[in-house]
């Protein structure tokens, strides 16, 4: 009996020794795909998704995430363990912050309006040598990693190489209220699965689409006006409207009917993600929209007062030295125009106002002193072009 026990014990020791001598298998790495934004509606309900379509994620160090950019968005990983509200407030939105969409342009000084340009730190990738599915950018949590919005392919892949326990926030610099939380967990801990991400995406898109259609119907049927203390009639309208996780890219109501001498007041208070303008007449607005941001070559960057030069090539990268490329923004695109009283042919614009940019007038009030045709005065949003339009029909007194 003792001999048998010795044999069994020796056998167990041999097995344990063999296990210890065998290298442990490394944690299998996962590759995730996350959709960012995307059109939700149709011709009747123009709704745009404003989400990273994934639940709060748990990943292992070394996992990769490919962000599928469906529209004008970025996937920007901010330094690990940052307070996301503080980071977004201090770094994004508005004009002139480190990662704002819009930056001052010191080269340009003509006119009364400040001159601006797209901020290269926001629209271009922070590292242009990586980001493809087979060449992920490494994110270790110490700095900001930005996909950029102007990229060759609408996807960006990052390898999560931060430490266990780190919490990472991903923010869209174009719409800073779009955010995704990621936590790095230990190798043996349960992580998020692609199946859960896909189920979340499908459920949220379906729910947001239904909610957007219901809100669109409600706003389209509502027409309100109020009388000021001086007895003047003011009709209320909305330049777009955002719900939780989506934006409605329309004016509400689409046609406002007023009497000559009355005013329309457009509100931007319903915007959380998007920015819009109220710009008329329509054709002049379209021209401003098409020429809103023009590529130029700036040899001295922000360091000197030298002028911007015309593009050196007809297409991207526009400049022989790509580091000189910038996109100058027309003041007429960004800032208010007009005297507050619309006459046929006059350019009147609220300027750009909304969830992230505040260069316009909010609310924006315009008085109509001339009667219109039956169709009305047509106006539009310079950011979203001709498909986001509205009408003001002005009847005689």
Model confidence pLDDT, tens digit, residues 130-153 = 999 999 999 999 999 999 999 878
pLDDT of residue 149: 96
CATH of the structural domain 31-203, one choice from 3.40.50.300, 2.60.200.30, 2.60.40.420, 2.60.40.10 = 2.60.40.420
Q: Chain-wide mean pLDDT for the chain?
A: 91
Are domains 31-203 and 214-292+330-395 of this chain identical in fold? yes
Neighbours of 51 (CB within 10 A): 25
Domain ranges within the chain, ordered by starting residue: 31-203, 214-292+330-395
Asked whether residue 1 carries a pLDDT value surpassing 50, the answer given is no
Q: Average the pLDDT over each of 6-20, 73-87, 225-239, 248-262 and give the range with the smallest value.
A: 6-20
pLDDT of residue 28: 64
Mean pLDDT value of segment 345-357 = 95
pLDDT of residue 110: 75
pLDDT tens digits along 230-262: 999 999 999 999 999 999 999 999 999 999 999
pLDDT of residue 135: 97
pLDDT tens digits along 108-127: 777 788 899 999 999 999 99
Mean pLDDT value of segment 65-76 = 97
pLDDT of residue 152: 79
Asked whether residue 17 carries a pLDDT value surpassing 90, the answer given is no
What is the CATH architecture assignment of 214-292+330-395? Sandwich (2.60)
Local confidence band at 300 (pLDDT 50, 70, 90 cut-offs): confident
Asked whether residue 227 carries a pLDDT value surpassing 90, the answer given is yes
3-state helix, strand, coil in the chain (%, to 5): 20, 35, 45
Asked whether residue 35 carries a pLDDT value surpassing 90, the answer given is yes
pLDDT of residue 27: 57
For residue 290, CA distances in Å to 120, 287, 294, 390 come to 20, 5, 9, 18
Six-digit token string for 66: 């490919």
Q: What is the DSSP string of 318-386?
A: -SSSGGGEEEEEPHHHHS-BS-SEE-TT--EE--SEESS-B-S-SSEEEEE-S---SS-EEEEETTTEE
Six-digit token string for 373: 């045709």
pLDDT of residue 107: 82
pTM, to two decimals: 0.90
């Amino acid at each position: 009996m003792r001999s048998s026990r010795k044999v069994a014990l020796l056998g167990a020791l041999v097995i344990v020794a063999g296990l210890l001598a065998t290298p442990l298998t490394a944690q299998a790495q996962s590759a995730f795909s996350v959709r960012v934004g995307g059109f939700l509606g149709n011709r009747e309900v123009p709704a745009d998704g404003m989400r990273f379509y994934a639940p709060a994620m748990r990943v292992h160090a070394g996992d990769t995430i490919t962000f599928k950019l469906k529209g004008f968005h970025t996937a920007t990983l901010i330094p690990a363990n940052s307070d996301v509200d503080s980071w977004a407030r201090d770094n994004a939105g508005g004009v002139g912050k480190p990662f704002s969409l819009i930056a001052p342009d010191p080269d340009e000084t003509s006119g009364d309006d400040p001159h601006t340009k797209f901020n290269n730190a926001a629209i271009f990738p922070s590292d242009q040598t990586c980001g493809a599915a087979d060449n992920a950018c490494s994110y270790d949590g110490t700095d900001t990693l930005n996909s950029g919005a102007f990229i060759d392919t609408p996807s960006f892949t990052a390898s999560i190489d931060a430490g266990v326990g780190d919490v990472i926030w991903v923010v869209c610099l174009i719409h800073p209220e779009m955010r995704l939380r990621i936590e790095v967990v230990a190798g043996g801990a349960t992580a998020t699965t692609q199946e859960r991400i896909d189920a979340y995406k499908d459920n949220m898109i379906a729910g947001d689409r239904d909610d957007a259609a219901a809100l669109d119907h409600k706003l389209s049927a509502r027409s309100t006006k109020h009388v000021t203390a001086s007895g003047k009639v003011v009709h209320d309208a909305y330049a777009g409207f955002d719900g939780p996780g989506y934006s409605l890219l329309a004016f509400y109501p689409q046609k406002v009917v007023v009497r000559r001498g009355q005013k329309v007041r457009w509100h931007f208070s319903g915007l959380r993600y998007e920015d819009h303008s109220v710009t008329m007449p329509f054709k002049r607005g379209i021209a401003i929209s098409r020429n809103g941001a023009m590529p130029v070559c700036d040899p001295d960057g922000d360091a000197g007062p030298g002028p911007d030069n015309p593009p050196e090539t007809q297409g991207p990268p526009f400049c022989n030295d790509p580091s000189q490329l910038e996109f100058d923004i027309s003041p007429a695109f960004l800032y208010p125009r007009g005297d507050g009283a619309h006459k046929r042919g006059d350019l009147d614009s609220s300027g750009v106002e909304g969830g992230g940019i505040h260069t316009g007038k909010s609310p924006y009030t315009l008085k109509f002193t001339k009667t219109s045709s039956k169709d009305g005065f047509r106006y539009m949003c310079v950011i979203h072009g001709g498909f986001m339009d509205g009408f003001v029909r002005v009847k005689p007194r």
